[in-house]
Amino acid sequence: MIKISVSIDVSNLKKAETFYVEALGCKKVRDQGSNMVVLSVENSDIYLQEKEPGTKPLVSSSVVRDYERHWTPVHLDFICDNVDELVSKILKLGGFHEGGDSGDWGSIAYCADPFGNGFCVINE
């Protein structure tokens, strides 16, 4: 069996934990040392890892961690019953709503956490 887990770098672990638990309904599984917490949502684990801004994620690159809004081709999708309700929680807890779309397939909201990590909220 293969299971997928997701790691998300954040600059403030407590704020990130509060955001992902209260806004997106993740469950805290455990603390993993002083700078990591493990959350779970359905059948996936999310590892929030506190990393200082400006530190290098890769030894072989000049790229440094930056928690301004950024884009990556890989992101999370949170499937929910009520997009508007979830977006309201996201905004209340410091996240961002950047538009959306809808059709006969359902609706989607483009969002980001307080650390610039983008994700979508989808109602199917």
Please report the beta strands in the chain, taking only residues with DSSP state E, as ranges in sequence order: 5-10, 27-31, 36-41, 44-50, 76-79, 96-103, 106-112, 118-123
Structure confidence at residue 25 (pLDDT): 95
Please give the residue range of the domain that contains residue 117.
5-53+68-123
The domain total for the chain is 1
Structure confidence at residue 71 (pLDDT): 85
27: pLDDT strictly greater than 90? yes
Structure confidence at residue 42 (pLDDT): 86
Structure confidence at residue 2 (pLDDT): 81
Map tokens 């009520």 to a residue.
82
Flag whether 25 is in a domain: yes
The band of 1, judged by pLDDT with boundaries at 50, 70 and 90, is confident
| Closest alpha carbon to 106 in 82, 85, 88 | 82
Flag whether 95 is in a domain: yes
The CATH number assigned to the domain holding 49 equals 3.10.180.10
Flag whether 58 is in a domain: no
Flag whether 62 is in a domain: no
Q: pLDDT for 94-115, tens place per residue? A: 999 999 999 999 999 999 999 9
Q: pLDDT for 71-90, tens place per residue? A: 888 999 999 999 999 999 99
Flag whether 60 is in a domain: no
Determine the average pLDDT of the residues in 43-48. Answer: 94
Flag whether 115 is in a domain: yes
